[in-house]
Amino acid sequence: MTRTDTHPDGSSPTEDEVREALRNVRDPELGADIVELGMVTRIHVDGAEVAVEVALTIAGCPLRAQIQRDVDLHVGALPGVRSVVVTTGVMGPDQKRSVMDRARRIARDDPSATDVPDTARVVAVASGKGGVGKSSVTVNLAVALARRGLTVGVLDADIWGFSVPRLLGMQGDVEARGKKMVPLERHVGDGTLRVLSMGFLADEDQAIMWRGLILNRAVQQFLEDVHWGDLDFLLIDMPPGTGDIQMGLARMMPRTEVLIVTTPPEAAQKVAARTADMARKGYLQVTGVIENMSDFICEHGTSYALFGSGGGDRLAADIGVPLLGRVPLHPSVSAGGDAGAPVALDDDQPLAAEFARIAEALVANPPATGSMEGCSARMLERVEAAVAAGEPV
Ligand SMILES: Nc1ncnc2c1ncn2[C@@H]1O[C@H](COP(=O)(O)OP(=O)(O)O)[C@@H](O)[C@H]1O
Ligand SMILES: [Mg+2]
């Protein structure tokens, strides 16, 4: 672009001034400016003409035009600059590694602005398909954790098919504190549940606005614009088929763990295995498997493996994570759900003890330390690959 304005005293900018201007150009994928990332490989000032070379991580990067435009805009705005020539190159493997290292460091020092405390474990409860009991497991596990005296956030990320308010017998309108929504609270034993669901956004306009957001964006909003306060756990009841949400979570909160709910039938195993695979591709760690609707125990205490047995074991072994528990098929689960009184609250029901055991196993199985770094590293590579392949990220 050619400009006619000149520096008041006719002088040209220094290289440092150009570099400073380039700090306004961010690589939106890597989340930092191109100077900080070491992507600026050459600055040349010749009178009123400035040449800048930017090295991109991949050839044909769809962000190239945007980065070029931003460089032109910010450098061109410097007094005394008449023309800006922006060229792009592609990084060699070493340079790429060092840029990724830097991006990783920056991401670690400056995580995105969620209101979820760093100390809270974030657990996404996922399954390949609906109807396997994901929401039932989420609320009962949340209750069992709260009964241990913990503060547990429950995010109902099933925007279209939300069921958490009904299962917990909670209703009401979410209020705003400052600019943030305040989750609804329910005290359980010595602990507290803080719950957020589309079901609490009574305001029709608000609800329509939320439904208009793409799913991933809606979940991001739920994480960023909600006053979660101090939490020990945040359980996320994931909608089915959530590759993009998992990617979003990986980028926003790389420490998110995935808990896979499966049922014994082989078909469900395959879907659940695919979910695990998806979680891994999104670079979230899988913490464990819960087998739901396993044996049916009749009133005489005889157990029937209606859907076959060992499915959860097999899946857990296949993906190399612990089987955290097996929840039998029992009418108390659906009855508790219908009554808004999760079975995990009722010590007269044998399933309360099972959910207590699962909660204990979850607490006892924190994610492996140090794996977070690996996660975000692979995550960035995945983002990069997706961008290269022209997929939406
Ligand atoms: N262990 C169980 N025993 C009996 N019924 C169950 C059990 N788990 C879930 N259900 C019932 O199965 C149905 C689907 O469960 P839900 O938690 O809504 O699944 P998802 O969230 O995966 O779609 C509900 O009617 C629920 O009450
Ligand atoms: Mg559900």
Dist. CA 141 → ligand 1 center (Å): 13
Q: What number does the ligand 1 atom closest to the CA of 137 have? A: 17
Question: Which residue owns the Cα nearest ligand 1 atom 2?
Answer: 329
**CATH architecture of the domain with residue range 15-109:** 2-Layer Sandwich (3.30)
Q: Specify the DSSP element, H or E, that contains 70.
A: helix 64-76
Q: Identify the pLDDT of residue 201.
A: 80
15-109 and 121-387 share one CATH topology? Answer: no
Dist. CA 263 → ligand 2 center (Å): 14
Structural tokens at position 327: 């929840």
From CA 326, how far away is CA 205, in angstroms rounded? 41
Structural tokens at position 69: 């435009």
Task: Say which amino acid occupies 291.
Answer: E
Dist. CA 62 → ligand 2 center (Å): 36
Q: Are 218 and 249 in contact (CB under 8 A)?
A: no
Structural tokens at position 389: 């392949």
Taking the domains of the chain in order of start, what are their residue ranges?
15-109, 121-387
Question: Which residue owns the Cα nearest ligand 1 atom 3?
Answer: 329
Using alpha carbons, select from 343, 327, 323 the residue that is nearest to residue 335: 343
The pTM for the full model equals 0.69
Q: Are 180 and 392 in contact (CB under 8 A)?
A: no
Question: Which residue owns the Cα nearest ligand 1 atom 17?
Answer: 133
Q: What number does the ligand 1 atom closest to the CA of 131 have? A: 23
> Does ligand 1 lie within 6 Å of residue 192's CB atom?
no
Q: What is the mean pLDDT of each run of 10 residues along the chain (393 residues)?
A: 53 92 82 86 95 84 79 94 93 81 67 76 87 95 98 90 93 84 94 93 63 66 87 91 65 81 74 70 77 76 65 80 91 95 95 96 78 39 49 42
CATH superfamily of 121-387: P-loop containing nucleotide triphosphate hydrolases (3.40.50.300)
Q: Identify the pLDDT of residue 382.
A: 46
Q: Identify the pLDDT of residue 297.
A: 67
> Does ligand 1 lie within 6 Å of residue 131's CB atom?
yes
According to DSSP, the β-strands at 323-329 and 285-297 are parallel
From CA 357, how far away is CA 144, in angstroms rounded? 9
Dist. CA 127 → ligand 2 center (Å): 10
From CA 186, how far away is CA 366, in angstroms rounded? 25
DSSP strands (E only) in the chain: 26-27, 32-33, 40-46, 49-56, 83-90, 121-126, 151-156, 175-177, 180-182, 184-188, 191-196, 233-237, 257-262, 285-297, 303-304, 323-329
Dist. CA 133 → ligand 1 center (Å): 4
